Amino acid sequence: MATPSEVDRATATMLHSRYYSSREVAAHNSVDDLWVSFLGKVYDLTPLAEQFTGDILLRPVLEAAGQDISHWFDEERKDVCGEEAVNDILERYLDYNAHAASYTWKYNGVPLRMDKTLEDNGIVDEDELFYELQMEPEIYRQSILLYFNDDLTER
């Protein structure tokens, strides 16, 4: 994985301010000539691809060569960062379900320690495996199961 200083040196080049058709961008779809469009601008990511050749984290970029990647950065999407404590994820989830704090959060049947990260709870990032198996990322995702605690029963 790249260090921050390596990433700083691998800059994308925004191409001249002119109109590029999607057909023109699509023609640049290889590791040796890699363009993408993002929010109406076109970027040459060839230097990035050259610097990180073979890095698994580059694979999605290579697959998107010659395409628009604006949807990757949709502000409405709530991706989970592996370095967050589960409590941090819970806090964000409360916006969608006010009762989430009363649920038991489990992975493989084991309750999660809410003050620990996903990795500290034994949840391994399976993105590389999903990629190798060519599993469609919009269909197959790792899951943390939330169990409703029936705290509303009559006594």
Enter the pTM of the model. Answer: 0.46
Confidence of residue 10 (pLDDT cuts 50, 70, 90): very low
Joined together, the tokens standing for residue 10 give 């691998």
As a whole number of angstroms, the distance between CA 81 and CA 118 comes to 9
Q: Which CATH number fits domain 4-73: 1.10.3470.10, 3.30.9.10, 3.40.50.620, 3.10.120.10?
A: 3.10.120.10
Confidence of residue 123 (pLDDT cuts 50, 70, 90): confident
As a whole number of angstroms, the distance between CA 59 and CA 140 comes to 17
Whether the pLDDT of residue 111 is over 80: the answer is yes
User: Any idea where the domains of the chain sit in the sequence?
Assistant: 4-73, 86-147
As a whole number of angstroms, the distance between CA 107 and CA 100 comes to 16
